[in-house]
Amino acid sequence: MKTHKTVFRYFTIMEYEKEQEWLSRQHRQGWKLTAVAVCFYRFERCAPEDVVYQLDYNPEGREQQEEYVQLFRDCGWEHVLDNVGYSYFRKPASQMQGREEIFCDEESRMEMFRRILCHRMLPLLILLVGMFVPLIIMELLEADSAADALVTGIPAGLVVALYIAVFAQCALQYIRLRKGR
């Protein structure tokens, strides 16, 4: 019987709730999370248990990592790992007091979205617009033929469109949350 497994799974930045649910489902099936690298999740066999996973995006937390993690420990959460600014926590459902969440109100959830926009999305958008788009334009203008331009332009255009779609999704979710306040 396998004791470890690695699963490829993609979640957008704003799909943290889906990711949390998926991780909880894995744990109920007897696989606890041990590591995350990009879209590869590493699990270790364990006794099936109803465990709640919660994610927090807090890159500032690295500066006071011990205090940050201790805050969650004091509330009964186990710190599992950190991955690109996200901290992963888990807690047995039997120890939960009602529908307990790391974000107890919409204000704190909105603050997390703001951190994501400011620390992850905006710098990449600036990089994309400031460097990548001009490089694509230069490459297209210097192409020897229409076929060369298409070979460069289509993949680059898809990358730009994909990133803009993800950024728009993140921004719209943030705006919806602000309007709901």
Number of other CB atoms surrounding residue 178 within 10 Å = 12
For residue 136, the model assigns a pLDDT of: 78
For residue 60, the model assigns a pLDDT of: 67
Q: Judge whether 100 lies within some domain.
A: no
Residues 10 and 90 in one domain: yes
- pTM value? 0.72
Q: Judge whether 44 lies within some domain.
A: yes
Q: Judge whether 101 lies within some domain.
A: no
Residues 8 and 87 in one domain: yes
For residue 62, the model assigns a pLDDT of: 65
Residues 62 and 8 in one domain: yes
Q: Are 106 and 177 in contact (CB under 8 A)?
A: yes
Residues 153 and 84 in one domain: no
How many structural domains does the chain have? 2
For residue 45, the model assigns a pLDDT of: 98
Q: Residue with structure tokens 């994909």?
A: 162
Give per-residue burial for 37-61: e unless 16+ CB within 10 Å, then b.
eeeebebeebeeeebbbbbbbbbeb
Residues of the chain under the 50 pLDDT cut: none
Residues 117 and 36 in one domain: no
CA angle 4/57/20 to nearest 5° reads 45
For residue 169, the model assigns a pLDDT of: 80
Q: Residue 55 sits in which domain range?
A: 4-95
* Sheet of 31-37, strand order: 4-8, 40-45, 31-37
For residue 157, the model assigns a pLDDT of: 80
Residues 91 and 16 in one domain: yes
Residues 133 and 167 in one domain: yes
Residues 134 and 114 in one domain: yes
Tell which of 39, 64, 95 closes a domain.
95
Q: Are 152 and 143 in contact (CB under 8 A)?
A: yes
Q: Judge whether 142 lies within some domain.
A: yes
Residues 78 and 24 in one domain: yes
* Sheet of 78-83, strand order: 51-57, 86-92, 78-83
